[in-house]
Amino acid sequence: MYIRDHSLATSERRSSYLAASLQALDESLGGNLHVYEGDPVEILKKLSAQFGEVFATEEFTPRAFLRHEKLAQAKITLHQVGSPYAVSPGRVRKSDGTSYRVYTPFYKAWCAVGWRAPAELPEVQKWIAPPSTARNFPRITCHTPAAGEVAALTRWREFYKNDLARYDEERNRADLNSTSGLARHLRWGEIHPRTILAELNQSNAHEVFRKEIAWREFYADVLFHEPHTNLDYYKPEFAKMRYNEPGAAFKAWCQGKTGYPFVDAGMRQLNEEGWMHNRLRMVVASFLIKDLHLEWQHGARYFMEKLFDGDVASNSHGWQWTAGTGTDASPYYRVFNPIEQGKRFDPEGLYIKKYVPELAHLSAEEVHEPWLYLDGLSHGYPERIVDHATERHEALARLAELKPKS
Ligand SMILES: Cc1cc2nc3c(=O)[nH]c(=O)nc-3n(C[C@H](O)[C@H](O)[C@H](O)COP(=O)(O)OP(=O)(O)OC[C@H]3O[C@@H](n4cnc5c(N)ncnc54)[C@H](O)[C@@H]3O)c2cc1C
């Protein structure tokens, strides 16, 4: 059964992906999936009256916490069993009972807590055929990548066979397409992290991959303890910093027309495919915050609109990590250089050329700084909207304003 909260504002991409995912689930259940749409409290009231007890997978978003409160006020009992995490948020604690604020010690404690083996399918499966009123599937209104459990398991097997053994060496290379692409499947519950973790061994590549799975769990844990940080600064002092208002520069960033090839390639990949490589997510986020001096929430909202894997915990905290306003131990003054990042993680410029065809005529050496060459901008690629070196200084000056004067 799936209950769609009618008050939930979601993007066209995520809503269409959900629709495709529910259709796949329905098929695997022989057309027996019940889908309701409306006020979850009202729907659960009726379901409790009809069935006596209702069981659900536990959710950990700020919105889910509000829903729990409303259910409690309405005296409706919802049995929450299992979670979409290997270790449920809130379970990994320090010896004094407090939560972790830094990833590395969290990771060690998370491993020590451990997780169960993946759940077995029940031998006998009994379904109640849904009435016609319980078939409120959302509509697919845009193209989506393959959705559903079969697609997720197929992708996991392919990645395991072809790329996982080199994950530690290649995962940062934007041009190699060597990451798992499992984020949307994990986000929508199409594969459980325990299914993945059960197959990992102690090799370095597998260990690095396990650590990435753990980042997702860490951010869910952080958001569980501080739900307001989906929108607010984790380090509140940064709310006082001087920021620009989003205007033409923000529009250029969204469209992938900043004049910085690596940044623009990332944004165009996001706009076209609804996915972006992790390295690029960091580079474009840093550019928005440190070069354009905009608040991270503007970028995070745009990501949520475009990503198929948009997830409130990983997104808000991925942004805050890059901004230096979140859980990261490394400070605000770390500023990604968009040119050097491109040279390092897309050395031949193949990723750039794929998404920015106006630069396809340039050599590997030229493509990262087209403004230095006579015909660099001759195919319609824009001038840089800001100068990175100047804006880096500006970001540091604004940071200095925050520090108490001695
Ligand atoms: C600014 C910013 C925003 C982000 N927004 C999201 C988001 O909305 N949804 C999302 O799932 N991830 C987000 N990430 C994390 C990461 O970029 C994506 O999970 C990853 O790029 C997805 O591609 P993949 O599945 O091929 O990853 P792989 O490299 O194959 O990693 C395997 C899995 O580990 C998890 N993972 C990997 N890196 C991270 C990370 N840094 N933080 C949390 N989980 C991680 C994901 O579930 C991923 O599918 C964001 C990162 C940044 C810097």
Domains identified in the chain and CATH numbers: 1-82 (3.40.50.620), 85-121+150-225 (1.25.40.80), 236-401 (1.10.579.10)
In ligand 1, which atom is closest to the CA atom of 304? 8
Residue 8: per-residue pLDDT:
79
Two tokens at 65?
A: 């916490």
DSSP string of 41-108? HHHHHHHHHHHS-EEE----SHHHHHHHHHHHHTT--EEE---SSSS-TT----TTSPPP-SHHHHHH
* Cα 259 to averaged position of ligand 1 atoms, centre (Å): 26
pLDDT at residue number 79: 92
Give the pLDDT confidence of 107-165 residue by residue, as tens digits. 999 999 999 999 998 888 889 999 999 999 999 999 999 999 999 999 999 999 999 99
CA dihedral 291, 276, 359, 249 (to 10 degrees): -30
Query: Does pLDDT of 404 surpass 80?
Result: no
Residue 244 and residue 109: Cα distance in Å, rounded? 40
Q: 217 near 85, Cβ under 8 Å?
A: yes
What pLDDT, on the 0 to 100 scale, is given for residue 62?
A: 86
376: helix, coil or strand?
coil
Tokens 């006082």 identify what position? 240
Spacing, Cα 183 to ligand 1 middle (Å): 6
Q: Calculate the alpha carbon distances from 389 to 267, 336, 394 in Å.
A: 21, 11, 9
Return the structure tokens found at 132.
Answer: 């016609």
Tokens of 337: 């250089």
3-state secondary structure of 113: helix
> What is the torsional sign of CA 312, 314, 317, 319?
negative
Candidate from 42-56, 164-178, 354-368 with smallest mean pLDDT? 42-56
Query: What digits encode the pLDDT tens for the residues 34-68?
Result: 999 999 999 999 999 988 888 999 989 888 888 88
Over residues 224-251, mean pLDDT: 96
* 325/289 Cα distance (integer angstroms): 11
DSSP bridge pairs for 37:
4
Q: Which of 277, 271, 279, 235 is nearest to 253 (CA)?
A: 271
User: What pLDDT does residue 5 have?
Assistant: 86
Place of tokens 């440190």: 290
pLDDT score of 257 more than 90: yes
50 or 373, which is more confident: 373
266 CA to middle of ligand 1, Å?
A: 14
> 378 pLDDT exceeds 80?
yes
Q: Is residue 367 a contact partner of residue 353, using CB atoms and an 8 Å limit?
A: yes
Substitution site in 187, 289, 314 for ligand 1 pocket (most atoms within 8 Å of beta carbon):
314
Distance in Å, CA 285 to ligand 1 centroid: 13
- CA of 80 from ligand 1 middle (Å) equals 26
Report whether 186 contacts 216 (CB < 8 A). yes
Beta strand pairing call for 35-38 and 2-5: parallel
Q: How many angstroms is it from 117 CA to the middle of ligand 1? A: 23
Residue 284 has pLDDT above 80, yes or no: yes
Which contiguous run of DSSP H or E holds residue 220? helix 204-225
Paired tokens of 176: 């190699």
- Residue 168 is inside which H or E element, if any? helix 167-170
Residue 78 sits at φ, ψ, to 5 deg, of -115, 120
Where are the strands (E) in 57-202, listed by range?
78-80
Q: Which atom of ligand 1 is nearest to the CA of 193?
A: 47
Q: What local confidence, expressed as pLDDT, does residue 43 receive?
A: 93
Distance CA 131, CA 32 (A): 9
Q: What is the pLDDT at residue 22?
A: 98
Tell me, what DSSP letter sits at residue 202?
S
CA distances 119 to 1, 82, 116, 331, Å, are: 18, 10, 8, 41
CA 247–ligand 1 middle distance (angstroms): 28
Instruction: Say what the pLDDT of residue 29 is.
Output: 95
Query: Is pLDDT of 405 > 80?
Result: no
Weakest-pLDDT range from 120-129, 183-192, 340-349: 120-129
Give the residue from 174, 334, 177 showing the smallest Cα distance to 265. Answer: 174
Whose alpha carbon is nearest atom 31 of ligand 1?
212
**Alpha carbon of 306 to those of 13, 198, 300: distances in Å?**
7, 31, 10
Comparing 269-278, 321-330, 367-376, which segment has the lowest mean pLDDT?
321-330
Alpha carbons 80 and 55: distance in angstroms, whole number: 6
Mean pLDDT in the chain? Answer: 95
Q: How many CA atoms lie within 13 A of 54 on its CB side?
A: 20
Question: Pocket around ligand 1: residues whose beta carbon is below 6 Å from it?
Answer: 171, 179-183, 186-187, 212-213, 215-216, 219, 278, 281-282, 285, 303, 307, 309-311, 314-315, 318-319, 322
Largest CA distance in the chain: 74
pLDDT at position 158: 98
Statement: residue 353 has pLDDT above 80: yes
Q: Which residue has the CA at smallest separation from atom 36 of ligand 1? A: 212
Ligand 1 atom index nearest CA of 319 = 1
Q: Whose CA is nearest to atom 40 of ligand 1?
A: 215
Mean pLDDT (whole number) for 220-236:
96
Residue with CA nearest ligand 1 atom 52: 318
Q: What is the DSSP letter of 363?
A: -
User: What pLDDT does 209 receive?
Assistant: 98
Number of H helices, E strands in the chain: 17, 4
> Taking 70 as the threshold, does the pLDDT of residue 282 lie above it?
yes
Does an H or E element contain 272, and which? Answer: helix 261-273
Q: Where are the beta strands (DSSP E) in 274-349?
A: none
